[in-house]
Amino acid sequence: MNKKILLIIGGGIAAYKSLFLIRVLARRGIATRVILTKGGSEFVTALSAGGLTGEKVFTDLFDLTDESEMGHIELSRSADLVVVAPATADIIAKAAHGIANDLATTTLQATDKRVLYAPAMNVRMWESAPTQRNVKTLKADGQYFIGPDAGEMACGEFGEGRMAEPEAMADAIDKLLKGDTTLDGLNGPKPLKGKRALITAGPTREPIDPVRYLSNHSSGKQGYAIAAALGRLGADVTLVSGPVSIDPPACAKTVQVETAREMLDVCEKGLPADIFIAVAAVADWRPKQSAAKKIKKGKDGIPAMVLTENPDVLATISAAKNRPGLVIGFAAETCDVVEHAKAKLAKKNCDWIVANDVSGDVMGGDHNSLIIVTENGEDYFPHLTKADAARRLADKIAEHYS
Ligand code: CTP
């Protein structure tokens, strides 16, 4: 998309989530430039923000070098969207009243771009008359808000005040960058509230000896995206993940496992659940024997490897006494995708099978084409990003319960 946002990081404990946001946006192809306020720099450093954006971080209005490299007016207009996260009561108040006494507030007043505020503060500050008045003023001026979410806060209180989750913020940013200004629904309806979802993701690793293993190319991206999408719709999500190199979604509880047997064990302990989604590329076989010490090259030549079958996590959970009401399997196929998916639906006693053609660059890539096979027919979700595919699946699940 080649879009760029200007992220103003205010002074709040939620500033760490803004660093996470930079990474989520980068994964979506959106670049970030950062202004770090004095307050923000008490919580995160310019070095970490700069390391993540790969760009200079701007901090001071009166820094001569900064001004000569990129003046604050140019800075305010160089991005496609300005995002203030965390937006403190102080920044909101200054912006609402046109007070411009530092780089962040000067930029907010000078910008000709849309501004999205992600407030984060104590619930009482958020609910206070001045803050609510200021938010109303900014909204009337045409500015956008996401959150705050309700939940437990760093100060120990419970209520509205937590900064929106990075994935939800990235959704809002995506929408605004595409010119869609209807942010309703991003913090709004939580149709899966009260539902427990258990999701497997990533590959498993089956040890040959302490340094070698059998595994596959699964990146975990699709399973992680599904966990995030369900979390955003209010589900209470546990993600059981094999070894991957991506960050766990903030809105799920993630349990890391290595082998198929560990994955099954954690899933069984995770029951009861309402929804089970097996996205993991579980190794079908494991070495029958795993050596306790590294196998050395010896005079016996090349060792033969005898394999044994791994438990089928999906089939086992589907046959459990306390089987979740909605069991969804994935079918990774390279040919006759729908036919094989239908066979798996019956064989593994699933309610739905999500079939995907893995003959291309799906494993490890960012896109996926899914076919959801149920007893009532098929839904086609062709060539979507894995995040969009996850959202479509989550919406279909919400629809199923509505
Ligand atoms: N699955 C599982 N445990 C296994 C193998 C697979 O939970 N030991 C799950 C996967 O997470 C997926 C579904 O079963 O949801 C189908 O996986 P897939 O690899 O497509 O099928 P297999 O059962 O392994 O059959 P085959 O490889 O022969 O197609």
pLDDT in tens, 181-214: 777 555 556 889 999 999 999 999 999 999 999 9
For ligand 1, atom 3, name the residue with the nearest CA. Answer: 312
Choose among 86, 78, 74: nearest CA to 37.
Answer: 86
Total domain count, the chain: 2
Based on the domain organization, do 353 and 214 belong to the same domain? yes
CATH assignment at residue 274 = 3.40.50.10300
pLDDT at 70: 67
Choose the final residue of a domain: 170, 187, 204.
Answer: 187
Based on the domain organization, do 130 and 226 belong to the same domain? no
Based on the domain organization, do 88 and 134 belong to the same domain? yes
Helices and strands per DSSP (H, E), number in the chain: 14, 19
Output the average pLDDT for the chain.
89
DSSP 3-state helix, strand, coil percentages of the chain (rounded to 5)? 35, 25, 40
Burial of 292 (0-12, 13-18, 19+ CB in 10 A): exposed
Do residues 202 and 243 lie in contact, with contact meaning Cβ atoms separated by under 8 Å?
A: yes
Per the rule left: phi > 0, alpha: psi between -120 and 50, beta: everything else, 29 is left
Q: What is the pLDDT of residues 261-287, one digit of tens each?
A: 999 999 999 999 999 999 999 999 999
pLDDT at 198: 98
Based on the domain organization, do 113 and 214 belong to the same domain? no
Q: Give me ligand 1 centre to Cα 276, in Å.
A: 14
Q: Give me ligand 1 centre to Cα 75, in Å.
A: 51
Q: Is 278 in the pocket of ligand 1 (CB under 6 A)?
A: yes
Atom of ligand 1 nearest to the CA of 347: 23
CATH assignment at residue 145 = 3.40.50.1950
pLDDT at 363: 59
Based on the domain organization, do 370 and 264 belong to the same domain? yes
Q: What's phi and psi for 104, nearest 5 deg?
A: -65, -50
User: CA distances (Å), 208 to each of 63, 126, 305, 306, in order?
Assistant: 58, 55, 9, 10
Q: What's phi and psi for 109, nearest 5 deg?
A: -80, -30
Residue 313 C-beta-side C-alpha neighbours within 13 Å: 35
Based on the domain organization, do 86 and 137 belong to the same domain? yes
Based on the domain organization, do 171 and 206 belong to the same domain? no
Q: Give me ligand 1 centre to Cα 65, in Å.
A: 58
Based on the domain organization, do 394 and 273 belong to the same domain? yes
Over residues 135-149, the mean pLDDT reads 88
Calculate helix-pair angle for 166-177, 221-232, nearest 10 degrees. Answer: 90
User: CA distances (Å), 394 to each of 183, 397, 401, in order?
Assistant: 18, 5, 11
For ligand 1, atom 4, name the residue with the nearest CA. Answer: 312
For ligand 1, atom 9, name the residue with the nearest CA. Answer: 314
Q: Give me ligand 1 centre to Cα 178, in Å.
A: 37
Pocket test for ligand 1, best of 268, 309, 314 (most atoms within 8 A of CB): 314
Q: How many CB atoms lie within 10 A of CB 47?
A: 9
Q: How many CB atoms lie within 10 A of CB 363?
A: 17
Q: Which residue has the tokens 């809105």?
A: 251
Do residues 283 and 310 lie in contact, with contact meaning Cβ atoms separated by under 8 Å?
A: yes
Based on the domain organization, do 115 and 65 belong to the same domain? yes
Q: Is 317 in the pocket of ligand 1 (CB under 6 A)?
A: no
pLDDT at 178: 85
Q: Is 260 in the pocket of ligand 1 (CB under 6 A)?
A: yes
- The DSSP secondary structure of 238-279, one letter per residue, reads EEEE-S-SSPPPTTEEEEE--SHHHHHHHHHHH-S-SEEEE-
Based on the domain organization, do 27 and 155 belong to the same domain? yes
pLDDT at 157 over 70: no
Q: Is 264 in the pocket of ligand 1 (CB under 6 A)?
A: no
Based on the domain organization, do 164 and 43 belong to the same domain? yes
Q: Which residues are catalytic?
A: 155
pLDDT-based confidence at residue 46 (cuts at 50, 70, 90): very high
Calculate helix-pair angle for 89-97, 129-140, nearest 10 degrees. Answer: 50
% of the chain beyond a pLDDT of 90: 65
Residue type, 202: G
Q: Is 201 in the pocket of ligand 1 (CB under 6 A)?
A: no
Rounded Cα distance between 27 and 49, Å, is: 16
Choose the final residue of a domain: 135, 152, 187.
Answer: 187
For ligand 1, atom 17, name the residue with the nearest CA. Answer: 331
Based on the domain organization, do 389 and 317 belong to the same domain? yes
Do residues 242 and 204 lie in contact, with contact meaning Cβ atoms separated by under 8 Å?
A: yes
Q: Is 314 in the pocket of ligand 1 (CB under 6 A)?
A: yes
The domain of 287 spans 196-401
Q: Give me ligand 1 centre to Cα 220, in Å.
A: 15
pLDDT at 63 over 80: no
Rounded Cα distance between 172 and 85, Å, is: 13
Q: Is 330 in the pocket of ligand 1 (CB under 6 A)?
A: yes
pLDDT at 360: 63
For ligand 1, atom 8, name the residue with the nearest CA. Answer: 312
Q: What is the pLDDT of residues 90-102, one digit of tens each?
A: 999 999 999 999 9
Q: Give me ligand 1 centre to Cα 236, in Å.
A: 25
Q: Is 226 in the pocket of ligand 1 (CB under 6 A)?
A: no
